[in-house]
Chains A and B, each alone.
Chain A
Amino acid sequence: MTRQIGRSSGGPEERRMEPSEAARLLAQTQSYARRSLDFTAPWVSLVAAVVALASFGIVWLNVRTQHPFTGPSPVSLVCFYALIALRIATVIYAYARARAGVSGNSVKVEHNEAAAMGAALLVCYLLLIAIATGAHHSTGFYWSLYLNGTLIALATIWAGRSAIHKNWQQIALVVPVALIAALGAIAGPRGMWLVNGVGLCALLLANAAIGTTRRRSGTRTDTVHTGA
């Protein structure tokens, strides 16, 4: 393809730029576009951190004085699930907002992955119910299996998905989730709510801080990338 180089076609929209101005515009446009199209925004992580601390914290406050452990009360479980539903709603909202107007292969892949994660969560629950009803265990065992088992299984599946996409940043986020859940299992039926709540909150806050720092440095930099 041949192109006339170095000639302006004229007109107000055709004005030429200085190379430094062009470099700045290119970097700013790409930085803005990446931010706009990214649904894993820092505020989503921030909401998730608050939700994790509040939801697990409410249950922990309910069970921490139970001797023997009898499990969370229905009221605390309603609060727990309401907060989890809030977390899911914020992710769906952020996704719909960021990906509005985008179509193509990556969107199809994201939808398939979301369906796969939903199916994995369902399989996890069915397996846990089968294990729980297969033999008699203590209430603490059921709840540890239910909470920590689900978190470890989902984090492992998501880590596998991230490895396939070579998304090391996501792996760095989900592997600690599995480790926190494993620590929760060690902490026992009462302590696990606190360990998971504080652990996930700290992890998500760190993720939000890293995301904010990256976005700020991306806005400040004048380096030229093409995203290709």
Chain B
Amino acid sequence: MTADALDTLIHVPARLQIMATLATLPDGDQLSFKRLQDMIELTPGNLITHLRKLEDAGYLTTSKTGSGPASRTSVALTHDGRQALETYATTLRGLLNGV
């Protein structure tokens, strides 16, 4: 098995951090955009770009509540996203163990 077996969408530092952070939340929980940004220390523009890619792949969902300055965007990992991270971690373990 080579590093090519890893999901390239996740195998990028920023997106791996996003996925790993969201995976620590229980199923059905969401994290606000602001808190996620604080936790992984990305600029808003950068974070939006990575979130869009993950959302397009069906790995996460974003939802917006409220309007104007009081609006709040929340992000949550989907079942597919959780599964993809699980597969990614299993592949990574296999690579590190020389399987």
Q: Which residue of A3, A20, A22 has the most chain B CB atoms within 10 A of its CB atom?
A: A22
B8 proximal to A (CB < 8 A): yes
Provide the residues of chain B in CB contact with A219, threshold 8 Å. none
Contact A20 B20 (CB under 8 A): no
Q: Which residue of B5, B29, B39, B46 has the most chain A CB atoms within 10 A of its CB atom?
A: B29
Contact B92 A104 (CB under 8 A): no
Provide the residues of chain A in CB contact with B21, threshold 8 Å. 29-30, 33
Contact A3 B76 (CB under 8 A): no
A106 proximal to B (CB < 8 A): yes
Q: A102-B30, A226-B89 are in contact. Are A37 and B20 (CB under 8 A)?
A: no
Q: Which positions 53-99 of chain B face chain A at CB distance < 8 Å?
A: 57-58, 74, 76, 80, 82-83, 85-86, 88-89, 92-93, 95-96
Provide the residues of chain A in CB contact with B38, threshold 8 Å. 101
Contact A6 B29 (CB under 8 A): no
Provide the residues of chain B in CB contact with A4, threshold 8 Å. 8
Provide the residues of chain A in CB contact with B23, threshold 8 Å. 30, 226-228
Instruction: State the CA gap A9–B7 with chains docked (Å).
Output: 12
Interface stretch, picked from A10-18, A73-81, A168-176, A197-205, is A10-18
Contact A3 B17 (CB under 8 A): no
- We find that the number of chain A residues with CB closer than 8 angstroms to chain B is 40
Provide the residues of chain B in CB contact with A30, threshold 8 Å. 20-21, 23-24
Q: A1-B57, A25-B16, A34-B24 are in contact. Are A6 and B5 (CB under 8 A)?
A: yes
Q: Which residue of A6, A17, A23, A101 has the most chain B CB atoms within 10 A of its CB atom?
A: A101
The contact of A22 among B82, B86, B92, by CB within 8 Å, is B92
Instruction: State the CA gap A19–B6 with chains docked (Å).
Output: 9
The contact of A37 among B3, B24, B34, B86, by CB within 8 Å, is B24
Contact A6 B6 (CB under 8 A): yes
Residue of B nearest to A23 (CB): B92
Provide the residues of chain B in CB contact with A15, threshold 8 Å. 12-13
Q: A18-B3, A100-B35 are in contact. Are A26 and B20 (CB under 8 A)?
A: yes
A7 proximal to B (CB < 8 A): yes
Residue of B nearest to A14 (CB): B12
Instruction: State the CA gap A29–B88 with chains docked (Å).
Output: 15
Q: 10 new A-B pairs (CB below 8 Å) besides A26-B89, A29-B16?
A: A5-B4, A5-B8, A6-B6, A26-B16, A33-B39, A37-B25, A226-B23, A226-B82, A227-B20, A228-B83
Q: List 7 A-B contacts (CB under 8 A).
A: A3-B8, A8-B8, A13-B46, A13-B50, A19-B3, A26-B92, A104-B26
Please give me the 6 A-B residue pairs with the lowest Cβ-Cβ distance, nearest first: A101-B35, A6-B4, A104-B29, A101-B32, A105-B28, A29-B20
